[in-house]
């Protein structure tokens, strides 16, 4: 009985098939990563547009709006000082900090979706929370005269890619900044509105 092995042609075909499968898997991961990166940037643009629309409509920043309780009875109001307090960057249900009231005010004005009685921060495409407020308490906070939209625990390569495409290419300067690199993620990626 003669044992038969694989010919070189058969082995080459198998290796080519394995290579094609690996190429498809790696390209698929890249496509998913790029889609999530673009979705995160688009989410910033949507929140920014909602906040500016609110400001145009009511002449106050959401969260800081001291007339929100008159407009929507029972709705907590801000202090109206022109600054969205950033004492709590990422919010839980029931929080009444100005940075948390942003979500309730935007929802009551029908500028974002969600339950207007909920002040919990929404999540971004990488699964973590979004925060809004003036950034005086963040590193380099004095240089942020307008409100910020911040995304919690953004992968470093995503933060750097977004900064390269839409800002100055340096996550430490410009209108888009990342803070506190921890492992492969930044604790916050913030965009100035």
Q: Does residue 3 lie within any of the structural domains?
A: no
Whole-number pLDDT of residue 115: 87
Q: Does residue 106 lie within any of the structural domains?
A: yes
Identify the domain containing residue 66 by its residue range: 8-192
Q: pTM of the full predicted structure?
A: 0.82
Closest alpha carbon to 190 in 178, 173, 172: 178
Whole-number pLDDT of residue 87: 63
* Cα 147 off chain centre by: 14
Would you give the DSSP letter of residue 66?
Answer: T
Instruction: Give the range among 10-14, 27-31, 65-69, 129-133 with minimum mean pLDDT.
Output: 27-31
CA distances (Å), origin 2, targets 7, 32, 70: 15, 50, 92
Q: Does residue 1 lie within any of the structural domains?
A: no
Q: Does residue 17 lie within any of the structural domains?
A: yes
State the angle between helix axes of 156-166 and 8-58 in degrees (0 to 180), rounded to the nearest 10.
Answer: 60
Other Cβ atoms closer than 10 A to 181: 12
Would you say the C-alpha torsion 85, 90, 96, 100 has a positive or negative sign? positive
Whole-number Å distance between alpha carbons of 95 and 159:
28
pLDDT of 15 strictly over 90: no
Percent of the chain with pLDDT over 90: 48
Residue-wise pLDDT tens digits, 127-158: 999 999 887 655 555 567 788 999 999 999 99
Total domain count, the chain: 1
Q: Does residue 76 lie within any of the structural domains?
A: yes
Would strands 176-182 and 185-192 be described as parallel, antiparallel, or unpaired?
Answer: antiparallel
């Amino acid at each position: 009985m003669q044992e038969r092995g694989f010919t070189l042609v058969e082995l080459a075909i198998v290796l080519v098939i394995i290579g094609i499968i690996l190429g498809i898997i790696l390209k698929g991961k890249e496509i998913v990563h790029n889609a999530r990166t673009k979705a995160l940037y688009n989410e910033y643009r949507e929140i920014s547009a909602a906040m500016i629309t609110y400001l145009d409509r009511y002449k106050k920043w959401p969260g800081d709006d001291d007339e929100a309780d008159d407009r929507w009875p029972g709705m907590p109001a801000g202090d109206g000082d022109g600054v969205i307090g950033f004492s709590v960057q990422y919010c839980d249900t029931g929080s009444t900090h100005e940075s948390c009231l942003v979500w309730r005010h935007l929802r009551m004005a029908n500028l974002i979706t969600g339950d207007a009685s909920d002040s919990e921060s929404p999540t971004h495409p990488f699964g973590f929370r979004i925060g809004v407020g003036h950034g005086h308490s963040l590193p380099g906070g004095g240089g942020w005269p307008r409100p910020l939209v911040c995304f919690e625990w953004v992968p470093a390569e995503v933060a750097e890619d977004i900064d390269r495409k839409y800002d100055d290419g340096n996550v430490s300067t410009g209108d888009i900044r990342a803070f506190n690199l921890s492992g492969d993620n930044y604790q916050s990626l913030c965009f100035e509105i």
